[in-house]
Structure formats: structure tokens, C-alpha cells
Amino acid sequence: MDFFSFFKKKSAPPSGSVAKDRLKLVLVHDRVNCSSQVLEMLKTDIIKVISNYMEIDDEELDIQITQTESDDKNGTVPVLYANIPIKSMRKVNQD
């Protein structure tokens, strides 16, 4: 590995690739009848609930609806994907 490659500016993915990924997301959201407003409400609710138990980095939070192969291998199904960085656990009173 070239030592100086660490300091080089990383190249962005080609715009065609980015556009293709965005189109896939739009199609998935459309197929599961999930508007961007619903996804934002879902994201807000998830943050609210998880924040009761742990401190999270909501700046780096990534919640998406994607497609994956079904268990019976007869097509794809929508999947809720959540990548939630945890900063620390909160003390929870267990009465």
C-alpha cells in the first residue's frame, strides 16, 4: 500500500452509479407505498425510542428501506435497514 495514497482525495462514485442507486431507492419506496414523509416519521420515532435507552449519533444515523431476496427465493421483499451508531448506554430505572 502506498503511504501517500492515504492522503489523496478519494474519488466520488460516477454520477450514473449514484443516479441508479437513487432510482432503486425511489422504486423500492414506491413498491412498499412508503413516502419520504413516512420514512422521516419512522426515523424520528426510532430515534425517540432508542434514545430512551442509549445515546446515539443521530448525525450518522442511516435508515433505509431496501430490497432483499425472500426466504423462499421467489423474489424480493422490502427490508427496513437501520445503521445506528451508539455513543453510550443510558442508565434505565427498572422499577
Residue 33 lies in a domain: yes
Q: Is residue 9 part of a domain?
A: no
pLDDT, tens digit only, all 95 positions of the chain: 555 555 555 556 677 776 766 666 665 656 666 677 877 788 888 888 888 899 999 888 888 777 778 888 888 777 888 889 999 998 877 66
- The answer to whether residue 46 is domain-embedded is yes
DSSP string, 48-95: HHHHTTEEE-TTS-EEEEEEEE-TTSSSEEEEEEEE--EEEEPP----
Q: Flag whether 42 is in a domain.
A: yes
Q: What's the pLDDT at 55?
A: 93
In a domain, 10, yes or no: no
Q: What pLDDT sits at residue 67?
A: 74
Q: What is the pLDDT of residue 44?
A: 85
The size of the chain, in residues, is 95
Structural domains of the chain, count: 1
3-state secondary structure of 13: coil
Domain assignment of residue 63, given as a range: 15-89
pLDDT for 9: 55
pLDDT given for residue 17 in this prediction: 72
Look at the block and give the residue holding cell 443516479.
19
Q: Does a structural domain hold residue 6?
A: no
On whether residue 70 sits in a domain, the answer given is: yes
Question: Residue 74 and residue 29: Cα distance in Å, rounded?
Answer: 20
Q: What is the pLDDT of residue 88?
A: 93
Any domain includes 73: yes
Q: pTM of the full predicted structure? A: 0.53
